[in-house]
Structure 1
Amino acid sequence: MNKINHLKPNHSGRSYRKVAVAACFGTFLEWYDFLTFATLAVVFAPLFFPSNDPNAALLASLATFGVGMVVRPIGAALFGSMGDRIGRKPVFMITIALMGFATFSVGFLPTYAQIGIWAPILLVSLRLMQGLSAGGEIGGSAVYLTEHAGNEYRGLKTSFLQLMGPLGILFSTLQIALLRYYLTNEEFLAWGWRVPFWISLVLLIIAFKARMALEETPVFLELNKNSQKVKNPLRSNFKDAHTRKRMFLLFFCVSAGGAVLFFSVQVYTAIFLKTSVKLAPQVVDQLSIYATLVLLPLTIFAGWLSDKIGRKPVVVSGLILGAVFIHPAYQLLQQFGQANNLGMIVLILTMLSLSLALVVGPQTALLAELFPAKTRNSAATFPHNLAAGWIGGLLPLIVTWLNQTWDSAVAGLWYPTIFLASGALVALLYLPETHKTNLHH
């Protein structure tokens, strides 16, 4: 036990850095692949879903993005259970290969003008494949990294994994901004949008090679050595009342709250500024890059803070801030966007990013700390991906539909507001403090 818990300091430091880089880069690739689609949702609308009504085409494009999110829980159930049975590392290799293949293939899809109805069918099929892969990766990577992190400063050390989503968006957005700058609009619509998908092949090769050198987690090795593995982990989780309660709390408070804020701040703001406020796409891309850059240090700070004062107060603070601020924030974005006051838009984006950071900074460690070692992977990945897929992933579609139904640019924002307020209340009452949890139990 001591050997597993306490490696020699120098080896432990080098080993963890190696694990963290490989795990984070793979998760970065997953998010880059997965969210490039969201960044290009407005572009995909006329290419794959032609319609006389631009709103209908945008809804169809956002629905296709949402489909990939909806199947994430299926991937989580499949790959999460595999992670508890055969190990965390083999699942990593499968999910990253699946995501890489699907994303690279999107770059070669013919458009509706070329093959008709088969274009959106193929796009949706590849999107489903991406969703299954993301379900196994996102959540499982949190467990993997946390089990390698040891007991000291887990929140800080694992908070870096939460940067991979924003960095994935940042890398994607930078590419698209450069492509828009150097290409004409006709060239971008003809082939330029495909470039980010082609580049994913290079990233896949790098990530796959890095993950080949990864070691299995000490917690899983101990379970394997002591023959403590569970035959059907997911079923065991639902049968156990204590685990079931914590899965609900993870789903409703931590993961759903983080997903609602992530897609509101990192995904929907760009769509809103382009379609409702009608800012130039190049300006919106620059604002998205800023929002991502400011989120990075805030997330690490939140992870560090959760080691000092506990996970619960940090997460609850982020949920409350989001619930109070998100609706007026979009009203102000509309107001200042129409006045072209970019300074105030930057300030609003900073406040939105702070609320997101407070929830997701401690999230990686919290995912693993809530559950016992023998069923941790499946217990964490399923509710996490259910929340991210069904609550967060469908948020742009639901908010856009509500806005169109009520003929308002901001009416749909009551949906995330009510959800965050409910999550904050439940977390305040029932979410346990976990930052001193022994992960080997």
Structure 2
Amino acid sequence: MATASAVSTNTPMTSEEKKVIFASSLGTVFEWYDFYLYGTLAAIIGKQFFTPLDPASRDIFSLLAFAAGFLVRPFGALVFGRLGDMIGRKYTFLVTILIMGLSTFLVGVLPTFESIGWAAPIILIGLRMLQGLALGGEYGGAATYVAEHAPHGKRGAFTAWIQTTATLGLFLSILVIVGTRTVVGEAEFAKWGWRIPFVVSVLLLAISVWIRLSMNESPAFQKMKAEGKTSKAPLSESFGQWKNLKIVILALVGLTMGQAVVWYTGQFYALFFLTGPLKVDGNTANIMIAIALAIGTPFFILFGSLSDKIGRKPIIMAGCLIAALTYMPLFGALTKAANPDLAAAQTTSKVVVTADPAECSFQFNPTGTAKFTSSCDVAKQALAAGSVSYDTVDAPGSTAKITIGDKTIDAYSAKDPAAKDKEAAFKKDLAAALKEHGYPTGKADETKMNKPMMVLILVVLVIYVTMVYGPIAAMLVEMFPTRIRYTSMSLPYHIGNGWFGGLLPATAVAIVAQTGNMYNGLWYPIIFAAITFVVGMLFVKETKDVNIYAAD
């Protein structure tokens, strides 16, 4: 792509440019708000729609239903990217937001499993997929639209405003959820109050549609259309020609894959880690995440603007590298700050499961029909239910036992004729041993939390997100020519964020369930962020000075 000539970047933003950024960003805030509601309320939704499953499988399956929306995002990128490159950016915006908003509203009025049985989760997954399909066409359009309005030398700063919308959408959803919980109470919220944030999104939909109807088509697309250079087959041009396909692959592996796992770790997984393994009260965890987001969000603009001066690549690569190197110590520090009793117990009294590896199952039960009956499974299920991390020692041919400090508790097989009697003794002995060695049995004690340190760690995680996410919209736009830009940039972005990022929570939970160590789920983002750093440093070129008005 051609390099642009130098243009002064000191001119103030015009009223039209402000309107473009506001309209694109605000509409996208509402879309992300809709999408995040499910992620934040996944545990409650799991109880409502996957009622027959055991608790562990219910959690994983509700996260997989959440991930279903992400899995279809690349297909939305193909469908709406093609439309955006052929008929324009503005009208594609309207279609995506209508599908997204209506699907979200319907989740709020959908009957639960108790009312309509298995039809409830099936319809829920269908609505999640519609939301994901619409969102697959949303981001590429917003990024392309704003970048094509931005003057050369300010694309990073302009598109960084879009990058704030994902975080602001999560922030807004947390505020609505916390407000609703406070008004109706925790018990009523779990019964029916969770529906309110979904239902009120119809108001946000109306505002978003009204705003987007007032927008004009992007000047780059208008110029290309006037010159008769629009693509008649953007899919085949983007992915059927090696010169473009290789850039799509590099954009995925060398940019968006690492960006996605850093993004989801810093926001979604951090929230899950607090409320799950660390047993922090949901309201407290949501408030702390909201504070961290409020403090960290301006860094999107900072890093986006900085990328106009020093380049996009150095900032994104630095974010991936620092995240990969520091996740383990940061989450360890978060444990000490949020649940010091748990951290102390893990240090002084490690838990070890000694068992025959042949009888240890992978405890994922999406259908609710599998029975985990061996002594190894019984031992691991009991520890997982208490969010207790453990190491495993192989002992072929033996009955499983749990060692906690100087205490040893023998497990049992659920098929044993005396299993019922042994179960009661096992649970009693395990609870006593855990308590004796300092393992907390209930929610984390708020009086012992180091809340300033918790917020500081969460802010650091959010800053990592801003480093990888702030400059990436401008970089993706600059990697592809105008005629196929919407299509070409949308696919790698949504495979990266939809598949590698969207599958992070469920995959990390499954890794933890299998290995027993609550930190092992972090290897997922660490490995993919490291791969992106290596590939990006070796093969991805800097883009900040290219001419994005070039059609070819």
Q: TM-score range by the shorter chain?
A: over 0.9
> How much identity, in percent, do the aligned residues show?
37
- TM-score where L is the length of structure 1: 0.96
| Aligned-pair CA distance for 1:242 | 2.7
Paired with 2:186 and 2:206, the residues of 1 have a C-alpha distance of 31
Q: Specify the alignment match of 1:343 in structure 2.
A: 452
Q: Specify the alignment match of 1:401 in structure 2.
A: 510
Which blocks of at least 5 consecutive residues in structure 1 are unaligned?
A: none
Q: Specify the alignment match of 2:224 in structure 1.
A: 223
Give yes or no for the alignment of 1:137 onto 2:146: no
Paired with 1:112 and 1:291, the residues of 2 have a C-alpha distance of 36
1:88-167 to structure 2, matched below 5 A, reads 88-167=89-168
The equivalent position to 2:501 in structure 1, one of 385, 392, 398, is 392
TM-superposition CA deviations, 1:297-323 (whole Å, max 9, x none): 111110111011111111111111111
Cα contact 1:139–1:367 (8 A) shared by 2: no
TM-superposition CA deviations, 1:357-411 (whole Å, max 9, x none): 1111111111210101111110001111111111000100000100101112111
1:184-333 to structure 2, matched below 5 A, reads 184-333=185-334
Cα contact 1:266–1:291 (8 A) shared by 2: no
1:170-189 to structure 2, matched below 5 A, reads 170-189=171-190
Q: Specify the alignment match of 2:61 in structure 1.
A: 60
The alignment partner of 2:194 has SS state of helix
TM-superposition CA deviations, 1:218-247 (whole Å, max 9, x none): 111111111111111121112332322221
TM-superposition CA deviations, 1:340-366 (whole Å, max 9, x none): 222222221122112111111111111
Give the partner amino acid of 2:544.
H
In structure 2, relative to structure 1, the CA distance for the partners of 1:139 and 1:295 (3 Å cut) is farther
Give yes or no for the alignment of 1:20 onto 2:34: no
Which blocks of at least 5 consecutive residues in structure 2 are unaligned?
A: 1-5, 341-448
Work out which of the two has the higher radius of gyration on C-alpha atoms and give 1 or 2. Answer: 2
Paired with 1:74 and 1:425, the residues of 2 have a C-alpha distance of 28
| Aligned-pair CA distance for 1:190 | 2.0
Give yes or no for the alignment of 1:38 onto 2:73: no
TM-superposition CA deviations, 1:238-265 (whole Å, max 9, x none): 2332322221121123222221111111
Paired with 1:207 and 1:170, the residues of 2 have a C-alpha distance of 18
Give the partner amino acid of 2:539.
Y
TM-superposition CA deviations, 1:15-47 (whole Å, max 9, x none): 111111111111111111111110101111111
The alignment partner of 2:109 has SS state of coil
TM-superposition CA deviations, 1:52-94 (whole Å, max 9, x none): 6211111011000000000000000000011111111110010
Q: Specify the alignment match of 2:524 in structure 1.
A: 415
Cα contact 2:321–2:529 (8 A) shared by 1: yes
Q: Judging by fraction of residues, say which structure has more helix.
A: 1
- TM-score where L is the length of structure 2: 0.77
The equivalent position to 1:375 in structure 2, one of 443, 464, 484, is 484
| Aligned-pair CA distance for 1:269 | 1.0
| Aligned-pair CA distance for 1:183 | 2.0
Paired with 1:246 and 1:52, the residues of 2 have a C-alpha distance of 44
Alignment RMSD, CA only?
A: 1.7
Paired with 1:231 and 1:386, the residues of 2 have a C-alpha distance of 24
Cα contact 2:258–2:531 (8 A) shared by 1: no
Cα contact 2:99–2:134 (8 A) shared by 1: yes
